[in-house]
Each structure stands twice: as structure tokens, then as C-alpha cells.
Amino acid sequence: MDNSHRTDTEELNNRSYSLRVCQALLDKYGVDAQFLKLIEECNELSRIAAKKLMRSEEATADNIVHEIVDVMVLISQMHVIFGREILSKLYHAKLQELVVIHELKIE
Ligand SMILES: [Mg+2]
């Protein structure tokens, strides 16, 4: 059995589910509320990142990952608002820019 096809299908199903959840959140709370939530979650991630640098015991891997995922959910909603294609295009352009600016050797 071709497992790569099954993985692609699962990936698409997961993406579809993510899209539907994000759209439902935007429908229920509205764009402005989700932008406010984005600010809140980015702030929580900033705080835990600062605690990590200060070697705080609160900055466990679990706590950090939890805050990263919170932001990822909001970023996914931004994909719905602004369009996955443009964000993906700019994301990859930014990666290329970083490779050049930082003179990275990528294999
Ligand atoms: Mg959070």
C-alpha cells in the first residue's frame, strides 16, 4: 500500500479540519476579537520566552510549547483572513531573504 498517498490525504483532511475550526472561530467571535486574541497570545508567548532567557523554572518545554500552539492557532486564523497563498508566498520569500542576509549554506 502506498503510504505517502495516505499521508497526503491525512494532511489534507487535517488542513480541512483546521480551516473549518478557524473559520468557525472567526464566525463566532469576529475578526476584531481574534486580532485581540492574537495580541494576547503573542504576549503570553513573549513572556514565556523572556522567562526562558531568565532561566525561570516556569519556562518548561510544556509551557513554552503550549504558548507556541496558542499562537499557531491564531496564525492559522490569520491565514483564513488574509489567504493561505499570499502568506505562504511571502513566508517562502522571507526564508530566501534570510538565507541571503545571513549567508546561510542550505543543502
Ligand atoms: Mg496562551
Report residues near ion ligand 1: CB below 5 Å: 41, 44, 67, 70
Kindly report, residue by residue over 48-75, the tens digit of the pLDDT: 999 999 999 999 999 999 999 999 999 9
Quote the cell numbers at residue 105: 549554506
- Residue of 84, 79, 77 lying closest to 27 (CA atoms): 77
Residues in the chain: 107
Q: Is the pLDDT of residue 4 over 70?
A: no
What pLDDT shows up at residue 2?
A: 56
Whole-number Å distance, alpha carbon 86 to ligand 1 midpoint, is 26
Domain holding 62, by residue range, is: 3-101
Whole-number Å distance, alpha carbon 100 to ligand 1 midpoint, is 33
Region 26-34: mean pLDDT is 98
Distance CA 5, CA 7 (A): 5
CATH number, domain containing residue 47: 1.10.287
What pLDDT shows up at residue 38?
A: 98
The answer to the question of residue 106 being in a domain is: no
Q: Is the pLDDT of residue 3 over 70?
A: no
The answer to the question of residue 107 being in a domain is: no
Domain count within the chain: 1
Query: Using CA of residue 25, residue 28, residue 34, residue 36, what is the dihedral sign?
Result: negative
Global pTM reads 0.86
How many contiguous H segments (helices) and E segments (strands) does the chain have?
Answer: 4, 0
